[in-house]
Amino acid sequence: MDYLSIIYSVLAFIVAIGVLVTIHEFGHFWVARKMGVKVLRFSVGFGKPLWTRKAGDDETEYVIACIPLGGYVKMLDEREGEVAEADLDRAFNRKNVWKRFAIVAAGPMFNFIFAIVAYTAIYLVGIDGIKPVIGEVGVPSPAHTAGVKLRDTIMSINGIDTPSWEKARFTLLEESVDRGVITLVVQGLDKQISDKNLDISGLRLLQDEQIDLMGELGLSMWRPDIPPVIAEVIPGGAAAASGLLAEDRIFSINAEKIISARHWVDMIRANPDNDLVLVVLRDGRKVSLKLRPARQEEKGIEYGFIGVKNRIEIPIEIRREMEVTERYGPIGALNAALDKTWRMSWLTLKVLGKLIVGEASVKNLSGPITIARYAGISAQIGLRQFLGFLAIISISLGVLNLLPIPVLDGGHLFYYLIEMIKGSPVSEMTELVGQKIGMALLLGLMSVAIYNDLIRLVE
């Protein structure tokens, strides 16, 4: 990752966390005010204040602090200091348990509301995608055993419509977490529609961070054959040394005719440090060249590299046939957003459950470095992608904050549920012990997540 990408990722991360923390804390703030609680401070970030302002009848202090990894809303509370007699009825601890429950639950709920609003906007504008047409089917694989064929189009997965590869991939991940069989409804080239049942009970999904779900299932995206034409030759590389030029069309390698750009790439990658006889078509005539791909290595895998960029030109009729747009009117967009938010929330819970029982590897945990990286990538792609990224992180924050872990919102809500049942608050000692346990759990999880981030950086 170059310095510009790092700066872009850091800025995108700060924007993302700033937006999501503000939304979360505003939920607490807004409901607290509605419930008659006096708010003393609304802080985005921790540590030394960078900007402060007091406003409103209560002189609430609004703060932006230097550490952008969270925030808080400080409310009037007798447990944290003396409260003037005139303000006693506005203290948080004086409110009944239902009001306190609503105030604490509002933070995560606003995260879910933000996700719904974001997805609604995305579905109103429309999501451009590619029709889920299957390419080469892996052998052996669950897809091959089920009878899935090249150029089959996935119509639905376990009853969920999949108009694009984006939705198909997410649905495959979602449905594979806790199911032994995935049912694809596919349409073949003969227009016949059939069910294909993929037995995935033997796959160890989520046990390894590096697992390729599509590859494990034996599925791949179909790509049309693109002519093997050179767009650019990188100076100083093996291609330049051989005399290869832009606009050359690859005809053969070692007398084997090259039928597509993918075939050409595969041949080069399979021949590091091997002498090849390359024939190209140049200005209507055949030209013979000698080419020796350089050897490169990535994650322990060696491959050939020559330093060229291929011309990617997909015929317009194929492009039109493969492009799809998932777009809805206002009501349809809202319904789709509600469905997506629910499914993402449930998937997050299922994966967390797998982590707890040991059926998923802790290598799947990600920390701030990975989040920053993907924030930068999504922001560079476009506003829709960044908004979708924000929605995913917002849902994750909402779900995590509802877990019954002391120091999180969910821990407080759990205490309030106990209070509703027994008729009195839990003891201060119970809360103190719970806070220590919760802090230890959070520090442990954060340490693992940051360790995973650092390992990904050096791999």
Does residue 25 have an active-site annotation? yes
Contact 295, 304 (CB under 8 A): yes
What pLDDT score does 359 carry?
66
pTM: 0.81
Contact 412, 93 (CB under 8 A): no
Residue among 128, 127, 309 nearest 226 (CA): 309
Residue owning tokens 């409110």: 95
What pLDDT score does 22 carry?
92
Residue among 384, 410, 386 nearest 397 (CA): 410
Q: Which structural domains are found in the chain, ordered by start? A: 3-35+95-125+366-458 (no CATH), 128-223+314-326 (2.30.42.10), 230-313 (2.30.42.10)
Burial of residue 458 (CB within 10 Å: 0-12, 13-18, 19+) is exposed
pLDDT profile of the chain (459 residues), mean per 10: 72 86 93 92 87 87 85 87 83 90 95 96 90 89 90 91 90 83 90 90 66 82 85 89 90 90 89 91 90 84 88 76 88 94 90 75 70 77 87 92 88 90 84 83 79 68
What is the rounded CA–CA span in Å between residue 263 and residue 19? 46
What pLDDT score does 261 carry?
86
Residue among 84, 89, 87 nearest 99 (CA): 89
Cα 424 to Cα 88, 96, 402, 411, 420: the distances in Å are 20, 11, 22, 16, 7
Catalytic residue among 25, 174, 175, 216, which? 25
What pLDDT score does 453 carry?
66
What is the token pair recorded at 388? 């979708």
SS3 content of the chain, % helix, strand, coil (to 5): 50, 25, 30
